[in-house]
Structure 1
């Protein structure tokens, strides 16, 4: 399995080397890749159903940290794998015609293939870290897909919004995973199932699920993070069809379904999901019917559908999870059809405006038939797969024992309102553009290429097949999916007919009210403008204001702490050290000074002390840079004398060489430096003096305190005894630098070399610039 995933990425990058031709006809053969993968995953259905167990593919990665590239196939991961590859094969085939004249079609397929590999890795991963890795890869690859039209500013902005929102959620998701590991000691998802009670009883449980919710809600566009998804419709239609029907936006749904048996406590987990999902499904469905762009209608109806899935996972009963499992497949079938139909309409008429589109069935009969089937499935009309799903969804609101009768009515009413608006939205996209009088300007549109309409025909066939014979989908994959989430063998099954009951009445009411709403609400640009005017109080605008304030704060922070003056940087660093080290020192240490072991104060030590103090005073008050450099050299040479006095001649020689070289270099570059700035006023001098004296006192106290404790000489003995034996060197200091700390010394040398090259480049650039001006 690991080789399979890696191969997908390799093929994706290899596609970049394919040169686009005038019509790029050979790109249609790339659909063999996802179709082959679809057939590969299809073979696991009998094994999953008969064995009633998971298939684990183990691959060690970083065993010391518990990180692996293990992959697991169960009902849930298999359903998503089949959707990713099956719908992916149709999108690949569709895009070969839709994108045929794009000069960067090879780049498009590269991004699409990488995204497909990332999605497969995400749903198959059995390790938290590898899951997160693929999770972030979906965000990155979708960024390139959404922003594919780089010449379009809106497209670039939409891609940035999608990456920012989902990336923020990814950060919290990683925090949640790390916290789970800190509690359970494992990154394995399979092992976490047995640690469910441990996680739920831990005091960090609510933080863990809050962070995980943020990751899932941002990816699956739940309110109030839903705004990035309509903007993502700026992407080419094949991208919208793939990302927003079966893959990216369903990643959050997959995450919640996967962790429901691990983290669901039956109260907080379920309540949050029901509230967020319920709000999202109503808001998305309501807004969808007031749009005039076909893609916008589909975007908001997708948001609503995702809300329904979160709502059902929140209910958490067997029938609710069965409804969620079914609706995942139902939504993928009709929504992928809708998007591709929208692409065909746009491709042929060059517009997606519902106020001008009508009568296209005369010119696009096959497309019109498929659009009607998708609309009927969206509405839940009998003999479509949508009808089966809708009946189970209504059944799930009646089956949650925790709720009172009034609460059941409220939940059912919310689902009914949502379905009515979604029915109307589906009719807007599937009926309005194709029926009525054909405008004169569309009389000459030509029939679409077969590569455009064949994928939607296939999706329509499966919609009708599963609608008429639901046991095929149920026994094939749906029951295994529900079992994976519910963690127990289920008793519920999909049936075409459930008898005359309240649920059937609700289904009929949904269809009737949906059609009535469709005829009442007419697409209007004025209505769109009114709703757009409310965006100033919407979540996107609020987040934009917060982002601007953060940006302003970052600017002021940077201007204050990173003002370009080295003296400021040194000041900030020393103040920070004084604060942190001083707090730790005085808070944890009882100050004790051993004065008995201090040697008597000798005259030559006093002379060296006077020299250093005098040189520091000169450095502080001089207005001559040359005098300051010379005085600095005096300080360095005085330190050399201290080393000599206390029996460290090797350190004295090293210090002498470095100090002399520093003084010489300063003098050599003196004429290249700007004029001496009178930066310090009296207030600054007092401030710097206080900081300097405080730092000196702190270091002195730490040094004196260190003398009180007996020194541990095991390390120094080791170096002294083994320097010559192991490294053949008699100078212990040199052996430590060259052998024991060789890599560290090498890196330090590299850093200094890079700094020297940088300084030389700056000086050379300035010299050349001056010559140019002359």
Structure 2
């Protein structure tokens, strides 16, 4: 059974938005309603799954701008299908979990609203078949995650973590935007499928490498790749439902999604492969080491997520069919066990009052169902049969060993990292739930069923998928691998490959992981005391960069916002003077008109010059106002002399009113100070004024030197009567042809008038109160 593309792709987004709006008005059952919305969206995608194969997809085009090459729309293929099922399925379980985890919290409706908005943003991003649509949803995930991480905004740590996540991912988003624009320009289309089809044109473009680097930078910041990995553990200031949803299965994998989506374009480029594999290896190593240094359960899980994201990036960079299959398989495996373990960590914290692994132990008898979920998820994380984690680990080892010359390096680092993950899995299961019971701040017990449903179901799916890996491969993995490689590539998933070197490597990994688990109590404090890890932590670089940016901004503010009106005017006038001159010089526009016979009408400009000089040398304010008025009257004389009596009359009237008002106000104001500028200040002011006058004069002379083009004036004259129904061309231009401009000017004057009235009334009331 399949459904129409418009329903499969458009309806889940509409449902999510409607649910988010409804959540703001609900007081009871809001989280359960949100879970139902996510579950319904999951069902819609599940019904659409039969229409998605290795060679077919579903498309829904709902907007386009053909003139700009923009072909907006949504597309569901094998890669998108994997993500939408994870986003909606895990989202439904997390919302159900939140209904009891945050029971009684008055902010729960806001959390549900934000989670549903985030779900819509993620769904839109992974189904977008257009870089414009993709970027809009991409940025929406960053904004939604900012508010989700800052859920406890009363705490300084939550605000700092939210701002850090926003700055890192938002900065990467700007780089991504520039990269996507360059890629779209090279391909001649904004369609993602069109960009992949135009691979040769994209790679042949002069900006191919910069575009690739910008896109990779955006993906690296989103998916916490080295050196941007620090923001993800700090984001654990968010509540557990947020951490389980955003930072294990969904948002942090958005960068991985885009790398996989664009892999058909760059997969054969050596630079792409080296960049992704190098960053991936560094990220896995850093994540594993820092995970062993932590005892806070959520931070431990966050660092293991960093490790998993590094492994996915590295596998995408390896490119062949085997590594692509390994990447998609591990993507599914990690989402299942990591979301389950995050929810378990929240249960432990909720029911015991602490999430410090060093202070916990023996919880199995008090929390048997929680222990079951933790053990099932941890066994999949450790890669033990018959869990699907074992299938993923085996094929990852196979992919690394098949890389050729670098196989030894990949396998060695992967071996050590996987051993660390085995130790962490043991920490999250055996150490927490077995052995002697340790005292906790609260009496431990299993939570309600709504909190247990998510971790048990997710962990159980890991076991079921491991029992039938071929079905998982045929249903989900093969289609995603085909989209990732640009062509079908059948690599069957098997639970048992026989006695092979890979099996021996897996056994050695488990053995070393158990040794690390036994030594964790001594190893963790030593790693934490090692100052080198803190000294070279990229988070310190971020803090220094942010502090430097703030200091630079403060210095710039002190330089620019110095409080001197004279200084502000000098800067404005210098820019107005030098800007046009720079353009004239750069474009070769400096020119003088041909000499013309002396026109005695030019004497009308003499009052303007005299008034300007008088205003400049005037010592008193009233004298300066009178001199400025002479400039206005001289301007009116110029208009009258050169045949514009109506404009001259308007100028004369306005100038009279202005002088009368200013003179009246100045007489009443207690202004006694004369010009107190020093001689140097007056010289600087004169130089600035002279530069502005020279600039204006040169621009006017260049305009007069150019051939006169009468077309615009002729058009206004011809259209004045038929188009504006008026014979006064100036009035028609102001009222009809420049109607919006004139309306804006009227609005500004009206706003100024209302402001003056409000100020006068306020000052009048103040005077009465004071008296």
TM-score between both structures, scaled by the size of structure 2: 0.94
Match of 1:717 in 2: 714
Q: CA deviation at 1:225?
A: 0.9
Q: Is the 8 A contact 2:294 2:528 kept in 1?
A: no
The aligned counterpart of 2:494 is 495
Structure-1 separation of matches of 2:669 and 2:120: 55
Matched residue SS, 1:650: helix
2:456 is aligned with 1:452: no
Q: Does 1:139 align with 2:151?
A: no
Q: Distance in 2 between matches of 1:200 and 1:558?
A: 44
Q: By how many angstroms is 1:480 displaced?
A: 0.6
Q: How does 1:584-733 map to 2 (within 5 A)?
A: 584-589=583-588, 591-596=590-595, 598-602=596-600, 605-606=602-603, 608-667=604-663, 669-670=665-666, 676=673, 678=675, 680-733=677-730
**Which residue of the other structure, out of 271, 275, 282, is the alignment partner of 2:278?**
275
What is the CA–CA distance in structure 2 between the aligned matches of 1:677 and 1:482, rounded to whole Å? 81
Q: Give the alignment of 1:86-485 within 5 angstroms.
A: 86-400=89-403, 403-404=404-405, 407-441=406-440, 444-485=443-484
1:737 to 728, 734, 740: 734
Q: What SS class does the counterpart of residue 359 from structure 1 fall into?
A: coil
Q: Secondary structure at the match of 1:656?
A: helix
**Counterpart in the other structure of 1:35:** 39
Quickly say closer, same or farther: Cα 1:376–1:66, change in 2 above 3 A. Answer: same
How many corresponding residue pairs? 762
Q: Per-residue deviation at 1:47? A: 1.8
Counterpart contact for 1:292–1:523, Cα < 8 Å: no
Indicate the residue corresponding to 1:48 in structure 2. Answer: 52
Contact 2:370–2:446 (8 Å) recurs in 1: no
Larger displacement relative to structure 2 (373-382 or 525-534): 525-534
TM-score by length of 1: 0.94
In 1, the alpha carbon distance for the partners of 2:618 and 2:493 equals 90
Q: 1:673 to 1:730 in 2, by over 3 A?
A: farther
User: Is 1:747 the counterpart of 2:744 in the alignment?
Assistant: yes
Q: State the alpha-carbon separation in 2 of the partners of residues 768 and 261 from structure 1.
A: 72
- How far apart, in 2, do the equivalents of 1:705 and 1:224 lie? 54
Matches within 5 A, 1:501-580: 501-522=500-521, 526-527=525-526, 530=529, 534-535=533-534, 537-580=536-579
Secondary structure in structure 1 of the residue aligned to 2:52: helix
The answer (yes or no) to whether the contact 2:282–2:310 under 8 Å persists in 1 is yes
Out of 680-689 and 661-670, give the one that drifted further.
Answer: 661-670
Measured against aligned partners, the alpha-carbon deviations of 1:409-453 in whole angstroms (never above 9, x if no partner) come to: 111111111111122122212221111111244784333101111
- Encode CA deviations 1:654-679: one digit per residue, 9 max, x unaligned: 33333334334434554569775756
Superposition deviation, residue 67 in structure 1: 3.7
| SS of corresponding position for 2:59 | strand
Shift of 1:58: 0.7
Is residue 60 of structure 1 aligned with residue 59 of structure 2?
A: no
The question of whether the paired residues in 2 share the 8 Å contact of 1:619 and 1:627 is answered with: yes
The 8 Å contact of residues 245 and 335 in structure 1, kept in 2 or not, is answered as yes
Separation in 1, partners of 2:670, 2:574: 27
**Distance between the aligned counterparts of 1:137 and 1:619, measured in 2?**
56
Q: 1:217 & 1:182 partners in 2: Cα distance? A: 23
- Report the CA distance shift for 1:315/1:658 in structure 2 as closer, same or farther (over 3 A): farther
Structure 1: tracts of 5 or more residues without a match: none
Point out where structure 2 has 5 or more consecutive residues left out of the alignment.
Answer: 1-8
Distance 1:30 1:231 in 2: 27
Q: Which moved more, 1:644-653 or 1:89-98?
A: 644-653
Distance 1:26 1:543, change over 3 A: closer
Q: 1:548-589 deviations in whole A, cap 9, x for unaligned?
A: 222222223233333444443332233223333212212322
Structure 1 stretch 135-144 or stretch 698-707: which is displaced more? 698-707
